Structure 1
Amino acid sequence: MTGAAVLASQFAYKRWANEELVQLGLASQHLLSADELRLFTRILNHTWVVDQIFAAHMQGAVHQFGSTNTEDTPTLADLQARLARSDAQLEQYVQDLQDAQLGELIRFRFTDGDTGSMTRSEMLHHLIVHGTYHRGAAGRVLAPHGVALPRDSLTTFLHRLEPERRWQA
């Protein structure tokens, strides 16, 4: 499997895991205080903003964000739609990459004005890890309310996607 193909699989996983958690949040929002729902939503909104920022960097485009979250908090339903579009776009972007593009160094400016550079591969890996970290943080908002968190690990995703990976002992 090529590097771009592995990343495409990771972004399919990211899309699936985001949807699992947002669906759980929507189903559980009646259990949360207004502050908890806002925190849950803002954590995931932050991941969406960072995805948008890095997607713009990789495509040589200008993004509209002055920080790594929006001033206003979207509804969870609106965020669900944003995440679905963004995750699908990132997944398609990665599927269209050639392995040689993964090593390209991209120079950019952070939202705080500082400069940086990363390879396209590093940026894409950052988005996977960053999303995973913050899904865990958002899930912790639900846990005190007795909400069973989704089994959103990569192993679960791969075995649901390809059940033939399970072998008989």
Structure 2
Amino acid sequence: MLTTETAVMLANYGNWADQVLFKAMAELPEDAIYRTRQTLFGSMIGTLNHNYVVDLIWRAHLLGEKHGFSTRRDLLHPELGALIREQTAINHWYVDWARSQNVESLSERLKFTFVSGKAAEMTRGGMFLHIVNHKTYHRGWVSEMFFDSNVNPPETDLCVFLCEDVAPA
């Protein structure tokens, strides 16, 4: 069972991991961020825009609102600085959202519709765990792309976050 404390920790972890990745990306040659690659979302910036779009979609699901997306591949922020600003803002929304939850609200089942049009139902906690897991997965894709520039990617693992005592209290 997901608790408020764990949800807040995971929301803070997600923001921390994004910031670590963004900082490392800013040190790459600019073409590395935008270079077309053989990957589903085309580039580092495309993959991170996918994360952002999915965060928007699931926020709408959590709020019981329509998200208005027909694809998860929209390139809403093609410039890294704008994407960082917008991703950080939604990350903070998720931290605040997690703080406002309790065991009962996290256990509540919500109906929603996938972008594909398929109807589904999940608990709020399950939705949130998907959001955290989804972004971790795709940060891994971006980290792999660092090797194309002969640069080691940053460490964004949950254990690093927890062991470096960077987790906010």
TM-score by length of 2: 0.88
The one-letter amino acid of 2:8's match is A
**How far apart are 1:64 and its partner, in Å?**
2.6
Corresponding residue SS for 1:65: coil
Kindly indicate whether residue 91 of structure 2 is the aligned counterpart of residue 90 of structure 1: no
TM-score by length of 1: 0.88
The one-letter amino acid of 1:4's match is T
Give the equivalent residue in structure 2 for 1:40.
44
Identity of matched residues, %: 25
- Contact 2:109-2:121 within 8 A present in 1 as well: yes
Give the equivalent residue in structure 1 for 2:55.
51
The one-letter amino acid of 1:24's match is A
- Contact 1:106-1:119 within 8 A present in 2 as well: yes
**How far apart are 1:55 and its partner, in Å?**
0.8
Q: 2:148 aligns with which of 123, 137, 144?
A: 144
- Kindly report the root-mean-square deviation, in angstroms, between the aligned alpha carbons of the 2 structures: 2.0
- Contact 1:20-1:150 within 8 A present in 2 as well: yes
The one-letter amino acid of 2:49's match is N
Higher helix share: 1
Deviations 1:49-106 (A, max 9, x none): 1111111111112213111121555211111111100100011101111111111111
| Higher Rg | 1
Kindly indicate whether residue 8 of structure 2 is the aligned counterpart of residue 4 of structure 1: no
Give the equivalent residue in structure 1 for 2:20.
20
71 and 10 in structure 1: CA distance in 2 versus 1, 3 angstrom threshold: closer
Kindly indicate whether residue 116 of structure 2 is the aligned counterpart of residue 108 of structure 1: no
| Separation in structure 2 between the aligned mates of residue 11 and residue 63 of structure 1, nearest angstrom | 21
Unmatched tracts of structure 1, length 5 or more: 164-169
**How far apart are 1:30 and its partner, in Å?**
2.9
Unmatched tracts of structure 2, length 5 or more: none
* Runs of 4+ with >4 A deviation: none
8 and 135 in structure 1: CA distance in 2 versus 1, 3 angstrom threshold: same
**How far apart are 1:150 and its partner, in Å?**
1.0
